[in-house]
Amino acid sequence: MEGSWRSRSSSSTGVLVLLLLMVVMQSGEGQLAEDFYSKTCPNLEAIVNQVVSTKVSQTFTTIPATLRLFFHDCFVEGCDGSVLISSPNGDAEKDSPDNLSLAGDGFDTVFKAKQAVEASCPATVSCADILTIAARDVVVLAGGPSFNVELGRRDGLISQASRVQGNLPEPTFNLDQLNSNFVKNGLSQIDMIALSGAHTLGFSHCNRFANRIYNFSSSSPVDPSLDPEYAKQLMEACPRNVDPRIAIDMDPVTPRAFDNVYYQNLVAGKGLFTSDDVLFSDPASQTTVNDFARNAGDFNGAFATAMRKLGRVGVKTGNVGQIRIDCTAFNS
């Protein structure tokens, strides 16, 4: 009786080991890796960097536009290039109201980099990976930290405007809402605060924060947490009924440098959005903001870590998805 039990146990164990080995092998095929293209496209990062550098030399907008594009892509369907798809019906991810303000220079950067990569390594590198590399490169070109990127993503097969709403953080969010939005993507409060530092670059249209300077509450039309002088500057730049195309720098001090001045602005009451201001006004996050404001090294390290984690959100690997030839269209 004991012998037969051992025989069955040994057989079952063998099957279990085989199954586990298969799972490991399958998951191994789908893992991101820094050297993913070392054999199939060894010059990939140099090719992308050349295109990005050229584009940045032509227009600074390339930097915040590309960084924002990466974030918007990853938070909807995962980092799979789905935000790059164009639809003749105007119903792709990029057509969502939340994405209409994405600057064209970000898209153009990825498309030009993809063309250059295709010339050297045809049908090999995903648009999602090219966007990931480009997002890192613009940070470095703006004076931010350099970090290695993990590669091996495939491009997703879903891009629908209807699936965007509720997945991106809003400028009116409080700390709990921000944390909830990031946690569902595997990102911590520290990651969220660090990634918010991307607001040290770029611009915003006036309607995204008009409520803070004209109709904050019945008792105070101007948000009292705003520095009075900064609020005055905002009203001068964005008068009532301003042209909706008008935009202002999110960092009023060093708008073209990737630095920790964003956090110093928060301490000084110069956070543009409610979702910026709350990072300092809420005691649960204030300590981190103070640390980043005082120590650029802490911020840069946390930002690099958060960007790598962001790049893992919802990735498609192995046989899932496709390697798109044209980043604007699914392969037929």
93 is in an annotated binding site: yes
Dig out the tokens for 301 from the structure: 């390290």
CB pairs under 8 A, 24+ apart, for 148-151? 148/34, 148/308, 149/34, 149/45, 149/308, 149/311, 150/32, 150/33, 150/34, 150/36, 150/308, 150/311, 150/312, 151/32, 151/33, 151/34, 151/36, 151/37, 151/44
The C-alpha atoms of residue 49 and residue 111 are separated, in whole angstroms, by 13
Q: DSSP 3-state assignment of 154?
A: strand
Dig out the tokens for 187 from the structure: 């990102």
282 is in an annotated binding site: no
Q: Which residues pair with 247 in a beta bridge?
A: 205
59 is in an annotated binding site: no
Q: Which residues pair with 249 in a beta bridge?
A: 203
Widest CA span of the chain, in angstroms?
Answer: 89
205 is known as an active-site residue: no
Residue tagged 């703006």 (tokens): 142
List the Cα angle 283/289/291 in 5-degree steps. 115
The C-alpha atoms of residue 17 and residue 28 are separated, in whole angstroms, by 16
N- to C-terminal Cα distance for the chain?
Answer: 60
Neighbours of 9 (CB within 10 A): 10
Indicate which residue of 55, 72, 208, 309 is catalytic.
72
Half-sphere exposure in the Cβ direction for 326 (13 Å, CA): 7
236 is in an annotated binding site: no
220 is in an annotated binding site: no
35 is in an annotated binding site: no
109 is in an annotated binding site: no
80 is in an annotated binding site: yes
The C-alpha atoms of residue 311 and residue 321 are separated, in whole angstroms, by 16
Q: Which residues are annotated as a binding site for heme b?
A: 199
Q: Which residues are annotated as a binding site for substrate?
A: 169
Which residues are the active-site residues? 72
Q: Which residues are annotated as a binding site for Ca(2+)?
A: 73, 76, 78, 80, 82, 93, 200, 251, 254, 259
